[in-house]
Structure 1
Amino acid sequence: MEEQQQVYLEENRKLMELLVKGQTETAAKLAPSAALPKFSEYDLATELLTDYMNRYYTFVAAHSIPEERKANVFLINQSPALYKQISNMAGQLETPKLINEVTMEEIDNFLKEQYDPPRFLVRERYKFWSTMKRKPGETIHELANRIRQEATTCDFSNIDDPLDEAMRTRFVCSVNNEAVLKALFKVKETELSFKRAIEIATETEDAAKIAKETVYGEQQKVNKVQPDHRTKTPTGTSNYKEARQTTFNCYRCNKTTHTAKECPYRSATCNFCQKLGHLRVACRKRKATTNKRPIAQKSTPKQQLKTIRRIHMEQLQKSIEIEEQIIEMELDTGACDNFITEEVWCKLEKPVLSTTTTNYESASKHPIEVIGQCQLNAKTVKGNPIALNFVVSRVPNLNLIGRGAIKLLGISIDNLLSQQTTTTCKLVDQETADKSLQQSCEQLCNEFPDLFNNDLGCLKDYELEIKFKADAKPVFYKPRPVPFAIQDKLNLAYETGIQRGIWKPVQFN
């Protein structure tokens, strides 16, 4: 050990003498390899290539590594995967080389081509000005460091015309057209001025418009019907489907300029019914008293309907006591309101009707003509009295109880269904049936058979852009363990998906 220490001290003394004389290359050749510290391998996920190469060149300069050894020192400090990639690159050069014969310049060019491709300055500056926001919990210094990091890819120091650059960047951030942005990002920064950006955007939008008109024809103008902003149209489907159009009037003063919560007459007293909270003009009791004559509502003429099949289904019938008279009513869980015919209304001694603001139509889109609505007293299953609202209609046999009244009356649908007979479906005579739809479908299937096969297809001339969050980072996961019993089935599924174009095999994760 003492002899080895003496040899080591003698070598260090010779190295110091050579360094003093300026003979750095000779000193590096005589330096023992064990004295050279290890340099970290390149990790794409944590560091940019330019920063890593700058650190490496600082490392080789600090340790006086000669030019011919820089490539070897770089290779022994890299991962096996990167070492293999550089080896493959060396074998694919115009003049194939062994990996130990590759120069540092060739390694640098290869890494820049693979891990540091040329950036589009227009796109980088667009990202810098449009997506840079402070993250939750981020300090001022962290935000400043992130801004400095993002600014390194924008090359702001080489801007020749700051005014034109500012207008061009503002235009790119405000254009809000995906096709225009794609066209602008493809142009080099030196060739894209503010004027040129406007020309490209105009040409792109005009070309898209002309192409659309060429394929689909010129668009025809249609007059727009502007509905009242205070109306809404809820829909429901049943044997008798209602299409409601209810105007939101303030029920306190009957005005449409505000809601009931904002009405200044919330504490006013009605002069007719002497109740608090509304005016005489909006009093419902006064309207029910004054509207004694039934008002016929306008309706559009019924359309002729072609019947292909007639389905016979027994109705759910229930005898209901209304105004001390037994009325046979149909139960419809799809209807919102209750209906009685004009004949039943006359039988009940014509109660006072009020105007209804709802337009009703059947499931076949035919309007239901109504003459008004009234409130009648009915009895529940247990014999308790209850007031229900009924719509009087001129449609024959339209005596119907809706789902709300079914619940209030306490009627059990399950008991009625258990007593109902089996539903039958009768086919109409083939001579009267309309076969035009069937013939059109067969003609369509024969003309475009590829649209109805079981294979997967692709949309043509369509691009899907997936946007991630600005702070999203890719995460590496190892392959999931697969039980041995299903490995064959999984491999078969992989092969099937590759053949059908669903999956694409890759070499690296």
Structure 2
Amino acid sequence: MAVKDHYMPMFEQYNEAENFDCYLERFEIYVEAIGLGLRGQPDADDAGGTVGARVVAIFLNAIGRKYYGILRDLVSPKAPKDIPYDELKSTLKKHFTKPIITIAERHKFIQRNQRPDEKTSEYIVALKHLSLNCKFGEKLDEQLRDRFISGMRDQNTSLKLMEKAGAAELSFNEAVEVALARESAKDESKYLRESAINTEVYTISAYSSGGKHGSGERRSNNNNKHKKGNKERKMCNRCGRKSHDQQNCWFKDKKCNVCQKVGHISRVCYKRSQGVCTVEMDDSDSDIETTLPLPIFTTTKSSDAICVNMNVDDRNFQFELDTGSAVTLISEQAYKEHFKYKLLRGRL
């Protein structure tokens, strides 16, 4: 019997973007939900018609104008309302369902690999969908397992699963559980590494021992103090900044510590030497040069630098070994190329 005193929305019209078998399954679930069966029993309901006739009426209304017209042509000279639901369903399935070529379906299945931006869970669903028309029978689980392992993007996980399959019988579901667990662990590990790293990046310039402490400029994602106008200005020849014109530079009357001439400071002096590397904090919002109390030592450069290969966040870099340095530095270019996603904070 139909459900009384309870509003049920009309079932949505069919769209060819949806698989027709899926549409029929959802329609039959809807019919059950409103209290109608699909057996077409002759018992009269409270509306005076048979349950089967009501199901047909709901179905013909649900498929919409376009597909009702197609169905009407297919069953002519009969009227669609006079035909049982099962016959209507069979007629439309023949019309919408294309012939299945098993070889072609298996080829699609075998060629399917995990895409670069595809999660493992999405890859699993794609393989299951492609296997529907492959007719693997009792070999379905084995075929799914083999294709899943062979087509995985993560080669380390793929090799691990191959080892498990070689040592003991491994089902598709077991392979899926291992792959999902490893993917989750890898994502969490990456997140923990990124959140734990306190990264600072400085640009280092070389100056002579007679000058101020260099021009170490701190770059931070959270401290973007440069204004748009600064990018359009040329660099001031007196101090090296872009926040003003050289006519308005605070250092226009200052004496250079390198060449002893008035009108610029050591950081832009063309006579500066390249023998000593020093660091100075540079605040772009201020026109006052800040000197840090850091000792400067004259050193002799050696062409025989000692270099070591190191892995930083799954990337290989070659560093010059300095046993007396308290920090390890990379260039700004290397940061922008490999670590733009890192949060920059802190002070030197």
Q: TM-score, normalised by structure 2?
A: 0.34
Q: Which has the larger radius of gyration?
A: 1
Higher strand fraction: Structure 1 or Structure 2?
1
| Alignment TM-score, normalising by the size of structure 1 | 0.24
Greater relative contact order structure (CA < 8 Å, 6+ sep): 2
